[in-house]
Amino acid sequence: MTDLRTHLHGLWLPLVTPFRDGKLDETSLRRLTRHYSAHAVDGFILGATSGEGMTLRDAELERLVAIVRDEMAAGRRNVPVCLGLSGADTSRLRDRLDETADWPIDGYLIASPYYVRPSQRGLLAHFEALADHAAWPLALYNIPYRTSVNITNQTMLRLAEHQNIVGLKDCGASREQSIALLRDRPKEFRVLTGEDANYLEALTDGADGGIVLSAHVETATFAAVYAETKRGNHDAARARWHEVAELTRLLFTEPSPAPAKYWLWRSGLIDSPEVRLPMVEVSSELAATIDREIERRMKVAA
């Protein structure tokens, strides 16, 4: 295991979970892990939104983590792994922290409680209770357009003082709020954007990296955008960004991760584009659009 606080930067991939015939597709999962471990990916998020974690049984989630770790060990390149957890019951989440405490992970990505819309005092108490209890460090996930509650900067800065809360996946949908947090945060508190379309913008504003679903495609280019930005080569970063900016729109044309799974299936990285209800596979219209884009990019690469 690694020290998450020192590794929570760069390009992180919220890995999709491949299914086939209703089951976890272990063959495709191993192929995905080998493929992305060989690329410039700085960490994996497993079982979160992009990984359809809310549809995974406990045994499937545990198997998912074990396979990814096994394949990374075989390839001799271990990157940090965070387990995505979510829920609106603090007590139940504490139980999940206990149940996963001996799993081979480096930390957790924990979203705000959804639907119940707690107050800021409630959010503070919720996350502090989890951080006090967790065996591994926590990165928080602020995504108010899914949870219906925003973690304000005042609350976030108090949480950032907790020794077991090391960072944030920022999907707050407010650039003003994000810039203020980057300005005021403690020195070692990491902020990664989770908004694919704003990846370059967030890096330019000072974010430490991104958790980017679109980086399942053209991974090296997304990594280069980060590297060029951190070197201060903003023109070069912008040029590389233009190569992939359209992907961040195309892969969210319909509910994610169905478009990304379709792309990965058509590219041969997974054996099925299957998703679990209430998600459905992409429409025939979007499938045709993705097919054309894959063909176009193959011609450019050739």
Distance between terminal CA atoms of the chain?
Answer: 40
Residue 169 known to be catalytic:
yes
Q: How far is CA 235 from the centre of its chain?
A: 26
> Does 50 show up as a binding residue in the annotation?
yes
Query: Per the residue annotation, which of 36, 141, 199, 226 is the catalytic one?
Result: 141
Residues sharing a CB contact under 8 Å with residue 165, sequence separation 6 or more, in sequence order:
127, 131, 137, 138, 139, 140, 159, 189
Query: Per the residue annotation, which of 108, 169, 261, 262 is the catalytic one?
Result: 169
Give yes or no for a contact between 149 and 184, defined as CB atoms under 8 angstroms apart: no
Residue 230 known to be catalytic:
no
Q: List the structure tokens of 62.
A: 């545990």
Known binding-site residues equal 50, 211
Known binding-site residues for pyruvate equal 50, 211
Residues labelled catalytic: 141, 169
